[in-house]
């Protein structure tokens, strides 16, 4: 990260620092009317892109003359950027037959996010269909004066910037701007024809699993649950990988009902009730919490409305309270703890009174230790528990946190920098250690295993002293390592007996490691 970019923050970070209105959303909409009132700025070209995805050849602004263009500046780690994707999809569908083009400009935050192949995986994982410019050196970012992820810029068919806005939740405003400029330039006869592009998915072969996000081992009952995230379903297998149940149709939706008719949208975290009869699912893209009756083979919705929420002080009935990208779950007694990545908080769902409530975090995106409700997190994405504490993979600050569950509980830091731009791969004790966007944690005795996602390794944290070491994986940048296996953005972990189950997300597989010996095997998923 260049030094002049260290102050550039994801929108949620900016919100916490500036305490601006409207939940911290910074607006910088150009006030130029489509009728010509104002002086639109000539848009800089896109020629400095390092690479292009979802298109057969590089794209210039000259190629886009006659189109209303929406530039989306994003980085694939950022939950705020992910929240914009449904709005872009909506606009692309509405204006599918019009001269309207979305162009993503990927200006990556983490080192891992600068490699075009890694960005390609993110494009596939998020089902992005529009062209994406790889802007790893921030040349396009700087040319447009961008200051936050995500930022959206509208360019008219004559190549001029007519609007700019940062943050999420602006679908209606963007729709209005695009509509207006299509109408104006239709009258001016400056519109071209609708354009189409070759998508990366056209050359992508789906595996039995597609970008599995989380995994849950139930070794005492001989079962394994897998969030088959990009197939929008959950699988139940035996410990040898044979599929026992497919939960969900594999099509996007928020539908309750039997296993053959229920629908999910990119499910992630999983938890079981005490009897092993109910599976709880963090239905991330649906902003919902689902319950799977494993005996009756039905799916129901416990919390969430299907709409993303923005209430940082939520406390209400589950079915009528909006959630924001729940990413992982653990159960303690009659409570489910939820890593609410979208609001940078930890929430609870009370299984007895069926209510959700904020448990820890203010909603500010940062590292603040202290009393739970005064603490701050950075996109919490993984949870584990010993029954008294939560261990949290706090991904955007590349840190492992501890949250006490008691009434007067406090939040602290176990390991990692706590900094939004302080990341890397370094073994050490406590805050000396460095991670890079960890997404998963799992507890085995006094050892906490961490899916150090963007470093492509599994780390071990000793709870006794906070010492961090590398347990498994070569890291893709270390081909000379004698590690028995190489991961690619592992995202989920679960301990079952003496084994660690690993969702190796970008390699579409589950890896099983013997905790005692470090030997590994690839679990072959088989069945109908």
Domains delineated in the chain:
3-202 (3.40.30.10), 208-523 (2.120.10.30)
Q: How far is CA 406 from the centre of its chain?
A: 29
Q: What is the DSSP string of 269-302?
A: EEEE-TTS-EEEEEEGGGTEEEEEETTTTEEEEE
> Distance (Å, rounded) from C-alpha 65 to C-alpha 47?
15
Q: How far apart are CA 394 and CA 454, in angstroms?
A: 13
Between CA 106 and CA 117 the distance in angstroms is 12
Walk along the chain (528 residues) and give the pLDDT tens digit of each residue.
332 332 333 433 333 322 222 222 323 333 334 333 455 689 999 999 999 999 999 999 999 999 999 999 999 999 999 999 999 999 999 999 999 999 999 999 999 999 999 999 999 999 999 999 999 999 999 999 999 999 999 999 999 999 999 999 999 999 999 999 999 999 999 999 999 999 999 999 888 999 999 999 999 999 999 999 999 999 999 999 999 999 999 999 999 999 999 999 999 999 999 999 999 999 999 999 999 999 999 999 999 999 999 999 999 999 999 999 999 999 999 999 999 999 999 999 999 999 999 999 999 999 999 999 999 999 999 999 999 999 999 999 999 999 999 989 999 999 999 999 999 999 999 999 999 999 999 999 999 999 999 999 999 999 999 999 999 998 865 545 556 799 999 999 999 999 999 999 999 999 999 999 999 999 999 987
Here the contacts of 286-292 (C-beta below 8 Å, separation 24 or greater) are: 286/254, 287/322, 287/323, 287/324, 287/325, 287/326, 287/342, 288/254, 288/323, 288/326, 289/318, 289/323, 289/326, 289/329, 289/336, 289/338, 289/349, 289/356, 290/264, 292/234, 292/247
Please give the Cα distance from 379 to 307 (Å, whole number): 19
Could you give the C-alpha distances from 422 to 18, 431, 508, in angstroms and in order? 21, 11, 29
Where would I find the beta strands (DSSP E) of 232-388?
233-238, 243-247, 257-258, 267-272, 278-283, 288-293, 298-303, 315-317, 326-332, 335-340, 345-350, 355-360, 370-371, 380-385
pTM across the whole model: 0.92
88: left (phi over 0), alpha (psi -120 to 50) or beta: alpha
For 86, 263, 440, the CA distances from 255, given in Å and listed in that order, are: 18, 5, 27
DSSP 157: T
Question: Is residue 403 within 8 Å of 346, Cβ to Cβ?
Answer: yes
The CA-atom distances, in angstroms, between 201 and each of 58, 97, 225, 252, 489 are: 18, 21, 27, 17, 19
For 498-514, letters b (16+ CB in 10 Å) and e give ebbbbbbbbbbbbbbbe
The number of residues in the chain equals 528
Q: Residue 164: enclosing H or E segment and its boundaries?
A: strand 160-166
How does 348-372 read in b/e, with b if 16+ C-beta sit within 10 Å? bbebeeebbebbbbbbbbbbbeeeb
CA–chain centroid gap for 300, Å, is 24
**Both tokens of residue 527?**
């069945």
Cis previous bond, 150, omega within 30: yes
C-alpha–C-alpha distance, residues 515 and 259, integer Å = 34
The single residue listed with the structure tokens 């260290």 is 6
Q: What is the CA 163 to chain-centroid distance, rounded? A: 27
Are residues 422 and 434 in contact, defined by beta-carbon separation less than 8 angstroms?
Answer: yes
């Amino acid at each position: 990260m260049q030094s002049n970019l260290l102050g550039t923050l994801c929108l949620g970070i900016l919100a916490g620092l500036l305490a601006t209105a409207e939940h911290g959303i910074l607006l910088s909409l150009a006030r130029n009317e489509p009728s010509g009132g104002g002086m639109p700025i000539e848009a800089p070209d896109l020629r400095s892109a390092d690479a292009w995805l979802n298109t057969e050849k590089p794209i210039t602004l000259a190629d886009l003359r006659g189109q209303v263009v929406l530039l989306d500046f994003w980085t694939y780690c950022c939950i705020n950027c992910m929240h914009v994707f449904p709005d872009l999809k909506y606009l692309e569908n509405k204006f599918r037959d019009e001269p309207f083009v979305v162009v993503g400009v990927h200006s990556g935050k983490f080192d891992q996010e600068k490699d075009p192949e890694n960005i390609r995986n993110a494009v596939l994982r998020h089902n992005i269909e529009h062209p994406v410019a790889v802007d790893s050196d921030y040349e396009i970012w700087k040319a447009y004066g961008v200051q936050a992820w995500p930022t959206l810029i509208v360019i008219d068919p004559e190549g001029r910037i007519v609007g700019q806005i940062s943050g999420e939740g602006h679908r209606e405003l963007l729709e209005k701007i695009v509509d207006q400029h299509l109408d104006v330039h239709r009258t001016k006869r400056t519109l071209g024809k609708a354009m189409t592009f070759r998508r990366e998915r056209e050359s992508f072969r789906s595996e039995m699993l597609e970008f599995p996000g989380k995994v849950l081992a139930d070794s005492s009952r001989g079962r394994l649950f897998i969030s088959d995230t990009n197939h929008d379903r959950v699988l139940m297998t035996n410990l040898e990988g044979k599929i026992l149940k497919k939960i969900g149709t594999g099509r996007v939706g928020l539908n309750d009902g039997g296993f053959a008719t229920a629908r999910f949208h990119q499910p992630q975290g999983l938890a079981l009730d005490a009897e092993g009869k109910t599976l709880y699912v963090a239905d991330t893209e649906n902003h919902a919490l689902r319950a799977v009756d494993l005996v009756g083979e039905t799916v129901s919705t416990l919390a969430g409305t299907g709409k993303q929420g923005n209430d940082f002080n939520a406390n209400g009935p589950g079915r009528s309270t909006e959630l924001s990208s729940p990413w992982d779950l653990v159960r303690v007694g009659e409570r489910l703890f939820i890593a609410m990545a979208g609001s940078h908080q930890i929430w609870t769902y009370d299984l007895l009174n069926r209510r959700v409530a904020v448990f820890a975090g203010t909603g500010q995106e940062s590292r603040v230790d202290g009393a739970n409700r005064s603490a701050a997190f950075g996109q919490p994405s993984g949870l584990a528990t010993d029954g008294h504490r939560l261990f949290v993979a706090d991904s955007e600050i590349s840190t492992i946190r501890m949250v006490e569950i008691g009434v007067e509980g406090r939040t602290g830091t176990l390991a990692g920098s706590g900094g939004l731009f302080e990341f890397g791969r370094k073994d050490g004790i406590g805050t000396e250690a460095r991670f890079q966007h960890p997404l998963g944690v799992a507890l085995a005795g006094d050892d906490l295993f961490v899916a150090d996602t963007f470093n492509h390794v599994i780390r071990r944290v000793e709870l006794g002293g906070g010492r961090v070491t590398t347990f498994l994986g070569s890291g893709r940048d270390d081909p000379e390592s004698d590690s028995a296996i190489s991961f690619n953005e592992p995202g989920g972990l679960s301990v079952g007996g003496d084994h660690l189950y690993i969702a190796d997300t970008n390699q579409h597989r589950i890896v099983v490691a013997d905790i005692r010996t470090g030997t590994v095997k690839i679990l072959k998923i088989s069945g109908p």
